[in-house]
Structure 1
Amino acid sequence: MARSLTCVVAEDETLLREALLTLLSQVWPELRVVAACDDGGAALEAIATFQPDVALLDIRMPGLNGLEVAAGALDASPGTQVVFITAYDQYAIAAFDKGAVDYLLKPVALPRLQACRERIEARAAKGAAPDAALAALLQQLTGALPSVAKAPPLVWLTASSGKDTRLIMVDDIAYFQSDTKYTAVMTADGESLLRKPIRELLDALDPAVFKQIHRSTIVNMKAVASVTRDEMGRGLLRLKTRPETLTVSQPFMNLFRNM
């Protein structure tokens, strides 16, 4: 008997994610979903942790988009087959018509998901490694993702420091770090607390300046003094205005190759 395949699902819209999980349970009941994520950073770390057979990745997500997650997965879990989920019909047809990497159009239809299942199972049975085809596709798509109008990046925010509420300019922030309830805002002057999750911040910050280096950490690249690599392949960031060193989680190092 063939083993059950494992899967990571990444879709930032709750209703669409739940609908996709329901469809998967109908079309592919043997598939074991090991993680269902609502942002790219969480998806990349789940892929690195679980080494799934397949990852279903929404192309549009806060922070790391599906293409960036797939790029990180090449190193973090090279055996994972990637299926992109997209709302862009013409874009998807042009990008994936060679069939090396599969895609699903929103809203996902049962017959299309069934066909996707059959392709994935056929490739898994052959033991085909998807890395070469995926790498070529990602290179082709670099810079080709259709732009979506967004609000201007966040310029300032308010955060709590003891009993005080501070107005903090975003340029003065060295990094953000979240826990279960709060996000710490770290500046040269100290730490303040923000009641906003990392995934919401990623949507509001300038992606050219603020980079996710861990599921719970976003760093201001202008605040980075230097980067080194340890023996485990992780990046260590030294900051200009803070004494601590930040660690780039290994799955994210693919996104920092030029540092």
Structure 2
Amino acid sequence: MNPSDSADDPRLAATAVIAEDEPLLAQALQAELQRAWPGLVLAGMAPDGDSAVELALAQLPDLLFLDIRMPGRSGLEAAQAVVEDWPAGRPLPLIVFITAYDQYALQAFEASAVDYLLKPVQPARLAAACRRLRGLLAGSGSKAGPRDVDTGERLLGQLRQLLGAPESGGAAPLSVIQASTGPVVHMVPIEDVVYFEAADKYVRVLTAEQEHLIRISLRELLPQLDPQRFWQVHRGTVVQAREIAQALRDEFGRVQLVLRRRPERLAVSRLYAPRFKGM
């Protein structure tokens, strides 16, 4: 039995979720998928990034087809949220990004667990992607094992690389945070910040003794921070590296950070946990 045959075995029927904000493109992709992979079961379609995360975590599909440019969360941010909240012990989904742009270093996907499709999706390219995905699923036996470890690690590495790509155009990192409270603007030196925490469309700025709220999203703030000094450890948390005293790993592999100048512990998502390994 070759890999594509075993991937269509009813006992191993693969499921997929499509996230695409343009209805006609979503329907076209669904139709092409049915032709390229008749045994694939569509578990649902989402019109935006937030809905994609909700649907993926509810259905736990084997495959995610994510448009990179969507309302709300982008495809990359949706993938990050899904990976961080995915049930422990269950193989991560294989992710295919769909984009009309080439600034995401698409050639890097070729050798990774993450694939890509350019708009408009070409049937031959989709068929090639499906053969690759079927092989990955078939090679994991009962949809676990190597897919969860080897393929999953490559997926996490690729997402870390893409999410960490610089977007600031070479601008100098922030040196001071300007946080307003009524008529007062507090000038917080960047070296005093212990960590940043997302709070809807705001960001909490935590120093050793104070807390401020700034009117910016964490997504907008990240490109303005020095990535060597400030490490993202969760989609909603960025910590100053020198403020980390210890990284504690429990029996399930979950990591928490003990801080030098704050009493709370910070949870590290599986996406960023590999950063905390002994030298």
Does residue 272 of structure 2 align to residue 252 of structure 1? yes
User: What amino acid maps onto 1:18 in structure 2?
Assistant: D
CA contact (8 A) 1:81 1:120 kept: no
User: d(CA) in 2 for partners of 1:123 and 1:187?
Assistant: 49
Structure 2 length-normalised TM: 0.62
Runs of 5+ unmatched residues, structure 2: 1-8, 32-41
User: d(CA) in 2 for partners of 1:212 and 1:139?
Assistant: 14
CA contact (8 A) 1:236 1:245 kept: yes
The answer to which of 222-231 and 127-136 deviates more is 127-136
Task: State the Cα distance separating 1:220 from its structure 2 match.
Answer: 1.1
Does residue 15 of structure 2 align to residue 5 of structure 1? yes
2:272 aligns to what SS in structure 1?
A: helix
Does residue 131 of structure 2 align to residue 119 of structure 1? yes
- Alignment match of 1:54 (pick from 46, 59, 63): 63
User: d(CA) in 2 for partners of 1:157 and 1:49?
Assistant: 39
User: d(CA) in 2 for partners of 1:252 and 1:85?
Assistant: 24
Does residue 243 of structure 2 align to residue 230 of structure 1? no
Task: State the Cα distance separating 1:146 from its structure 2 match.
Answer: 8.9
Q: Which residue in 2 is equivalent to 1:18?
A: 21
Task: State the Cα distance separating 1:196 from its structure 2 match.
Answer: 1.0
Q: Which residue in 2 is equivalent to 1:12?
A: none
User: d(CA) in 1 for partners of 2:115 and 2:210?
Assistant: 47
User: What amino acid maps onto 2:117 in structure 1?
Assistant: L
Structure 1 length-normalised TM: 0.66
Q: Which residue in 2 is equivalent to 1:27?
A: 29
Task: State the Cα distance separating 1:195 from its structure 2 match.
Answer: 1.1
Within 5 Å, give how 1:81-96 maps onto structure 2: 81-85=94-98, 87-88=101-102, 92-93=106-107, 96=110
Q: Which residue in 2 is equivalent to 1:14?
A: none
Runs of 5+ unmatched residues, structure 1: 10-16
The answer to which of 175-184 and 135-144 deviates more is 135-144
CA contact (8 A) 1:6 1:32 kept: yes
Task: State the Cα distance separating 1:166 from its structure 2 match.
Answer: 0.6
- For these two proteins, the number of residue pairs brought into alignment is 243
CA contact (8 A) 2:96 2:117 kept: yes
Does the C-alpha gap of structure 1 residues 58 and 204 become closer, same or farther in structure 2, counting only changes over 3 Å? farther
CA contact (8 A) 1:35 1:46 kept: no
Does the C-alpha gap of structure 1 residues 243 and 137 become closer, same or farther in structure 2, counting only changes over 3 Å? closer
Q: Which residue in 2 is equivalent to 1:80?
A: 93
CA RMSD of aligned residues (A): 4.9
User: d(CA) in 2 for partners of 1:212 and 1:70?
Assistant: 16
Does the C-alpha gap of structure 1 residues 136 and 196 become closer, same or farther in structure 2, counting only changes over 3 Å? closer
- Alignment match of 1:210 (pick from 214, 230, 233): 230
User: d(CA) in 1 for partners of 2:47 and 2:262?
Assistant: 34
Does the C-alpha gap of structure 1 residues 33 and 76 become closer, same or farther in structure 2, counting only changes over 3 Å? farther
Does the C-alpha gap of structure 1 residues 18 and 247 become closer, same or farther in structure 2, counting only changes over 3 Å? same
Does the C-alpha gap of structure 1 residues 233 and 224 become closer, same or farther in structure 2, counting only changes over 3 Å? same
What fraction of aligned residue pairs are identical, expressed as a percent? 32
| CA deviation map 1:190-247 (0-9, x unaligned) | 0011111111112221222222222321111121122212344222212122222222
Q: Which residue in 1 is equivalent to 2:173?
A: 153
User: What amino acid maps onto 2:26 in structure 1?
Assistant: L
User: d(CA) in 2 for partners of 1:176 and 1:90?
Assistant: 26
Does residue 198 of structure 2 align to residue 195 of structure 1? no
Q: Answer 1 or 2: higher relative contact order, Cα 8 Å, separation at least 6.
A: 1
Q: Which residue in 1 is equivalent to 2:262?
A: 242
Does the C-alpha gap of structure 1 residues 226 and 25 become closer, same or farther in structure 2, counting only changes over 3 Å? same
CA contact (8 A) 2:80 2:271 kept: no
CA contact (8 A) 1:8 1:47 kept: no
1:18 aligns to what SS in structure 2?
A: coil
2:21 aligns to what SS in structure 1?
A: helix
Q: Which residue in 1 is equivalent to 2:240?
A: 220
